[in-house]
Structure 1
């Protein structure tokens, strides 16, 4: 995996150097080479923090983990913040349809929404959740009741 990053860096650097000599068309190509399809961590929605892999869930936070048993990439969401999980980078994609365990350390009921199926289900205050097989990797949106 490191090889493709090194090649991208070399290509981008070379294209940027050419833009000085050959004009804005090359500069546009250099910019296009660095575009990514997943959101950057610096662009997290309001109320969201990135947690370390398998980090415990802080107080007053709804935490989501990519894998069962609160393992893997994780985020914390402050109570009351409506969050589209498509805005959270996770693995090679996003957290949408990619979360297996939750902890609700808030004093509010979170609503886990599967936008694809039009289903919503509660996660009560103070409760953890290991997704049952039928609902694993289905949540796209977090809202609050």
Structure 2
């Protein structure tokens, strides 16, 4: 007799799976996506992700990430429940060509806790509904994945 477990994988196991999957799905021309018009970039984004303009306010029911402090610079919105590897989000800046390890401010306008994952440190931090965050120096530009519990 075969038994099945209803137990969910750990958050870190899920983070690793999302990272592996996104790495396999990244377009080869990621650098060229940065030069495209915003609508062309939007077509290449993972499900549940929308591009935002510099300083654009975070829409309701959305988790927003901004490259710079002060909720400025290139930005994206992520719908609640969509696990996203930030390597799949083109983002020019001093931290690299993608949003991975390149985000300084966050707004959680969803009704859910978002989990900010730093794979390099094996660290997961929550961002609670309604919370705005400008990363402290020790955590600035460290998030690689966004997960939802």
* Residue in 2 that maps onto 1:45: 46
1:117 shift after superposition: 1.2
Pair 1:133-2:134 in alignment: no
**How many residues get paired?**
111
Question: Quick check: 2:30–2:90 contact (8 Å CA) kept in 1?
Answer: no
Q: How has the CA–CA distance of structure 1 residues 39 and 76 changed in structure 2, closer, same or farther, with 3 Å as cutoff?
A: farther
Extract unaligned runs of 5+ from structure 1: 1-34
Q: Name the SS of the counterpart of 2:87 in structure 1.
A: helix
Larger Rg: 1
Give me the whole-angstrom Cα distance separating, in 1, the residues matched to 2:79 and 2:31: 22
Question: Quick check: 1:39–1:89 contact (8 Å CA) kept in 2?
Answer: no
* Residue in 2 that maps onto 1:26: none
* Residue in 2 that maps onto 1:67: 68
Question: Which 4+ stretches in 1 moved above 2 angstroms?
Answer: 35-40
Extract unaligned runs of 5+ from structure 2: 1-27, 34-40
Q: Calculate the TM-score normalised by the size of structure 1.
A: 0.73
Give me the whole-angstrom Cα distance separating, in 1, the residues matched to 2:30 and 2:81: 27
Determine which structure has the larger helix proportion and give its number.
Answer: 1
Determine which structure has the larger strand proportion and give its number.
Answer: 1
1:36 shift after superposition: 2.9
Give me the whole-angstrom Cα distance separating, in 1, the residues matched to 2:74 and 2:99: 9
* Residue in 2 that maps onto 1:111: 115
How is 1:6-25 mapped onto 2 (pairs within 5 angstroms)?
none
